[in-house]
Structure formats: structure tokens, C-alpha cells
């Protein structure tokens, strides 16, 4: 009799398991859920119930420095999974962050952090000092002239000569000369036919647009100095037109040395 009862109990348990699998009522399912929730809490902050909480949590993390400028946030799907909410709830929170200017949503790319102004670091363009700029130009522009010798066209020679004439015509106008000077060096960069060099020279010009450079311009530029620069510019162009790479590079080095010594004279 006891053997029959034991057999029935075994059959009953096998057909109707009380804790037999990861059902919604099983302790193991609750354990797994809690483990996943704890993992989400560690990765994304406190456990979340709605878009307002997600907004507050992400805002706190951005403002406190948990994210860096232009860092990409996880996708809506991933955030929804971590917070345990629907994507629409996440999207509502992100919309509020975007309205505050704390994130930027780029179509086809994702969502990126934008730090509050008080936490943003000055860019390299803003941090670069005039002498550092000239030293960087030493590393780029002589080789730029060598490449111009190899690749410049007759049309580009014509454009360079036109810029020379314009600069020589405006020796008394410092601001006008400064603008033409930038255009001249960018034209030289384009003669290299190297997209990276062109981009680098464009960054040089962005540095020259900052206040500290403008202050140096006032201190160092005058008609005699402009006249000297114009002669050096002409030496550079003539060497390039003659297809003499080393003479062109040396002419650029001489030009940059003059600019560097001029800066040193007012900063030391």
C-alpha cells in the first residue's frame, strides 16, 4: 500500500510541478529577475518606474560627470531593458533631456551627451597659444610646399599670384592683410591636393580667429613687417612655380621663423 502511495505521489509531482521550472510563481524566476534588476541598478542607477525617474537618473549621471562630452548613450532598447520599462517611456525621458540641451540625438547614429557649459573643457583650438600654433605650422607647412611643387596646377599658380598682388596692395590695412594671408596659406594647402593637410590648415586658421591671436596680431603686424611677409610669400610661390621642392620648403621655414621671432619679441 505504501509503495502505491509513493508511486502516485511521484506521478503527481512530475505532472504538476510546484517549483519545477522558471514559472512566474517560482523562486528561481524571482531570483533571476532580482539578479537582472540588481545588474541594471549597478549599471544605470536606481531602479526606475517611469519616464520622470529615468529623466532624473540620467540627468544626475550627466551633470555629476558619469558621462563625458559626446559620449554615446545606449540605445532606447538597451536602456528600456536596463530600466525595465518600454521604449516609449525611455523616449519620453530622452526627449526632456534633449530639450534641456543635455543630449543630442543624431539621426542614424544615436544619442550623445552634451555637457553643461560649466563642465565643458576648452577645445584644443581655444587652448593653443600663438607660439604653439607656429611650432605646429613648422611641422606641416614646409612639407605642404613640397607637395604643392608636385601637384599644383597652372590655375592654382594663377590664384596664388592673385593673392600675392592683393596682399601687396593692402600693406597698410592690417585686418585686410590678415584675412588675405589666411587665404594665401589655405590656397597653398589646396595646392598640395592632400585633404588631411587642407583640414589641418583650416584648423590653424580657427586658432588664429581667437582673441589671444588677434591681440598678437595688433602687437606684431605693421606695414614694414607686412612688406617682409609679402616678399617671403613671393619667394615661396616662385619656388613652387619653378618646381623646386626644397627651395619652397626652405622659403616656408624662413617665413615661419620670421613669424615666430616676431611673436617672441612681444611675449618675452
Whole-Å CA distances, 244 to 19, 74, 230, 258: 87, 54, 19, 21
Best CA proximity match to 180, nearest among 189, 192, 190, 171: 171
33 pLDDT exceeds 50? no
Q: Rounded distance, CA 229 to CA 180, Å?
A: 12
d(CA 7, CA 86): 47
Query: 93: burial class by Cβ within 10 Å (0-12, 13-18, 19+)?
Result: buried
pLDDT value at 21 more than 60: no
What is the Cα–Cα distance from 252 to 146, expressed in whole angstroms? 10
Out of 4-13, 85-94, 128-137, least confident range: 4-13
Report d(CA 254, CA 232) in Å as an integer: 8
Q: Tell me how far apart the alpha carbons of residues 127 and 157 are, in angstroms, rounded to a whole number.
A: 35
Dihedral sign for Cα atoms in the order 69, 103, 60, 49 = negative
Least confident of 46-50, 81-85, 135-139: 46-50
Judge contact between 74 and 67, C-beta under 8 A: no
Question: Any idea what the Cα angle at residue 170 is, between residues 189 and 210, rounded to 5°?
Answer: 55
CATH topology of domain 41-120: Arc Repressor Mutant, subunit A (1.10.10)
For the chain, percent of residues with pLDDT exceeding 70: 79
Q: How far apart are alpha carbons 40 and 36 in whole angstroms?
A: 6
C-alpha to C-alpha distance for 260 and 135, rounded to whole angstroms:
8
Q: Which of 140, 145, 130, 129 is nearest to 241 (CA)?
A: 145
Q: What is the mean pLDDT of residues 80-93?
A: 91
Q: For 114-139, write each residue's pLDDT tens digit.
A: 876 655 556 777 788 889 999 999 99
208: confidence class by pLDDT, cuts 50, 70, 90: confident
Residue 266 has pLDDT above 90, yes or no: no
Cα–Cα distance for residue pair 167/229, rounded to 1 Å: 9
Sorted by where each begins, the domain ranges of the chain are 41-120, 124-267
Positive or negative, the CA dihedral 126, 131, 132, 138 is positive
Cα gap 242→247, rounded to integer Å: 9
| CA gap 58, 239 in Å, rounded | 59
pLDDT of 16 over the 80 cut: no
Q: Tell me whether domains 41-120 and 124-267 share a fold.
A: no
Mean pLDDT of 159-177: 94
Which of 208, 165, 160, 201 is CA-nearest to residue 184? 160
Q: Which H or E element spans position 148? A: helix 130-151
Strands (E), 53-207: 103-106, 110-113
Other residues' Cβ atoms within 10 Å of the Cβ of residue 78: 14
CATH T-level fold of 124-267? 1.20.120
Amino acid at each position: 500500500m505504501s509503495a502505491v502511495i509513493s508511486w502516485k505521489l511521484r506521478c503527481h509531482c512530475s505532472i504538476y510541478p510546484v517549483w519545477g521550472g522558471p514559472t512566474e510563481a517560482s523562486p528561481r524566476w524571482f531570483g533571476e529577475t532580482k539578479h537582472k534588476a540588481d545588474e541594471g541598478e549597478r549599471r544605470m542607477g536606481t531602479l526606475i518606474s517611469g519616464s520622470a525617474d529615468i529623466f532624473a537618473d540620467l540627468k544626475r549621471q550627466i551633470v555629476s560627470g558619469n558621462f563625458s562630452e559626446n559620449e554615446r548613450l545606449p540605445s532606447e532598447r538597451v536602456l528600456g531593458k536596463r530600466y525595465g520599462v518600454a521604449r516609449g517611456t525611455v523616449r519620453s525621458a530622452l526627449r526632456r533631456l534633449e530639450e534641456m540641451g543635455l543630449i543630442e540625438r543624431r539621426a542614424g547614429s544615436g544619442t550623445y551627451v552634451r555637457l553643461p557649459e560649466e563642465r565643458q573643457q576648452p577645445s584644443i583650438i581655444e587652448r593653443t597659444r600663438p607660439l604653439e600654433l607656429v611650432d605646429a605650422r613648422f611641422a606641416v607647412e614646409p612639407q605642404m610646399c613640397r607637395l604643392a611643387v608636385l601637384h599644383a596646377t597652372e590655375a592654382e599658380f594663377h590664384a596664388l599670384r592673385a593673392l600675392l598682388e592683393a596682399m601687396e596692395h593692402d600693406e597698410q590695412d592690417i585686418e585686410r592683410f590678415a584675412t588675405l594671408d589666411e587665404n594665401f596659406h589655405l590656397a597653398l594647402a589646396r595646392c598640395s591636393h592632400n585633404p588631411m593637410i587642407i583640414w589641418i590648415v583650416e584648423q590653424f586658421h580657427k586658432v588664429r580667429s581667437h582673441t589671444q591671436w588677434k591681440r598678437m596680431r595688433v602687437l606684431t603686424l605693421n606695414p614694414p613687417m607686412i612688406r617682409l611677409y609679402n616678399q617671403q610669400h613671393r619667394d615661396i610661390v616662385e619656388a613652387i612655380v619653378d618646381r623646386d621642392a626644397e627651395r619652397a620648403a626652405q622659403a616656408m621655414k624662413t617665413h615661419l621663423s620670421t613669424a615666430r621671432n616676431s611673436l617672441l619679441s612681444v611675449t618675452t
